[in-house]
């Protein structure tokens, strides 16, 4: 992927406040100041899938014990996460593992552009935290029935998987436990609005994620 200028998904861009309450910037500032007295071993960063995870019991069960911080912002696209990480959210912490989950909200971008955005974030993390491992989570399928966004997300995952295959400090983990049934449908019991996870959906995603994370942390400890 060439330089950020030619790919909007890989060009750090803050969210412009069009609604009128400045919430995006407030959250960013909150994350920056919140990180000043924390020493997380794991940082989760991304969009609403990350943000909502923090609200449910599963976070306290599985990820608080791993000393994890959550910098998820609803609606964020790759270029927004790139901006946040370039502007202070990594300045005061040295997590051993960064879990990155973003891309599904990049509407108007191609799968290649979204992959480029994700890889730009992976590179940025490497630059700022040379010892950290980046675990990219695969973008989940969405919509009740088959649709172009499912194809786009699957293509993003394939491209990212290829791109990280040669990197020692990053990998892609597919966290879809099989949400799409044999008739092509997704259940609202797993994705309550066919995009966001229910607590049940999070359990199915997070159990294997947690096991994988523990393995990574143990390996980091050995190094």
Partner 1 sequence: MSGDEINPAAVAQAVEDVQGDDRWMSQHTRFVQECKDAEPEVLFIGDSMVQLMQQYEIWRELFSPLHALNFGIGGDTTCNVLWRLQNGELDNIRPMVTVVWVGTNNHEHSAEQVAGGILAIAQLLTSRLPKTKVVVLGLLARGDGPNPLREKNAAVNGFLRSWLPRLGQAQFLDVGAGFVHSDGTISTRDMFDFLHLTAAGYRAIAKPLSDLLLQILDETPEEKRASLV
Residues near partner 1 (CB under 8 A): 18-23, 26-27, 30, 51, 54-57, 73-74, 107, 142-145, 147-150, 188, 192-196, 198-199
3-state secondary structure of 197: strand
Catalytic residue among 17, 127, 162, 193: 193
Picking from 63, 125, 134, the residue whose alpha carbon sits closest to that of residue 98 is: 134
Name the residue with tokens 């050995």. Answer: 222
Q: Considering the complex, what minimum distance in angstroms separates the CB of residue 168 from partner 1?
A: 35
* Distant-in-sequence, close-in-space partners of 154: CB < 8 Å, separation ≥ 6: 141
Q: Considering the complex, what minimum distance in angstroms separates the CB of residue 136 from partner 1?
A: 22
Q: Is 48 a catalytic residue?
A: yes
Catalytic residue among 169, 196, 210, 212: 196
Q: Is 92 a catalytic residue?
A: no
Instruction: With beta carbons less than 8 A apart as the criterion, state whether 77 and 7 touch.
Output: no
Residue placing its CB nearer to partner 1 in the complex, 184 or 215: 184
Catalytic residue among 28, 35, 48, 80: 48
Residue placing its CB nearer to partner 1 in the complex, 128 or 196: 196
Q: Considering the complex, what minimum distance in angstroms separates the CB of residue 39 from partner 1?
A: 20
Instruction: With beta carbons less than 8 A apart as the criterion, state whether 139 and 39 touch.
Output: no
Q: Considering the complex, what minimum distance in angstroms separates the CB of residue 139 from partner 1?
A: 13
Instruction: With beta carbons less than 8 A apart as the criterion, state whether 37 and 10 touch.
Output: no
Residue placing its CB nearer to partner 1 in the complex, 194 or 220: 194
From CA 47, how far away is CA 107, in angstroms rounded?
Answer: 13
Residue placing its CB nearer to partner 1 in the complex, 21 or 222: 21
3-state secondary structure of 128: helix
Q: Is 196 a catalytic residue?
A: yes
Write the DSSP symbol of residue 167: -
**Which are the catalytic amino acids?**
48, 193, 196
């Amino acid at each position: 992927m060439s330089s950020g200028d030619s790919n909007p998904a890989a060009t750090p861009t803050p969210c412009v406040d069009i609604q009128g309450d400045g919430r995006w910037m407030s959250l960013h500032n909150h994350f920056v100041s919140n990180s000043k007295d924390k020493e997380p071993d794991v940082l989760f960063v991304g969009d609403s899938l990350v943000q909502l995870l923090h609200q449910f019991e599963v976070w306290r069960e599985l990820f608080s014990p791993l000393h994890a911080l959550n910098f998820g912002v609803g609606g964020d696209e790759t270029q927004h996460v790139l901006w946040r990480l370039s502007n202070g959210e990594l300045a005061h912490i040295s997590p051993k593992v960064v879990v990155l989950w973003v891309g599904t909200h990049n509407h108007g971008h191609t799968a290649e552009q979204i992959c480029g955005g994700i890889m730009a974030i992976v590179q940025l993390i490497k630059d700022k935290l040379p010892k950290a491992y980046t675990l990219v989570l695969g973008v989940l399928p969405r919509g009740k029935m088959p649709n172009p966004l499912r194809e786009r997300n699957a293509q993003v995952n394939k491209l990212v998987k290829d791109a990280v295959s040669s990197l020692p400090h990053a990998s892609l983990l597919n966290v879809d436990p099989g949400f799409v049934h044999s008739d092509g449908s997704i259940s609202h019991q797993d994705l309550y609005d066919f995009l966001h996870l229910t607590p049940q959906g999070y359990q199915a995603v997070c159990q294997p994620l947690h096991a994988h994370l523990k393995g990574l942390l143990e390996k980091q400890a050995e190094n």
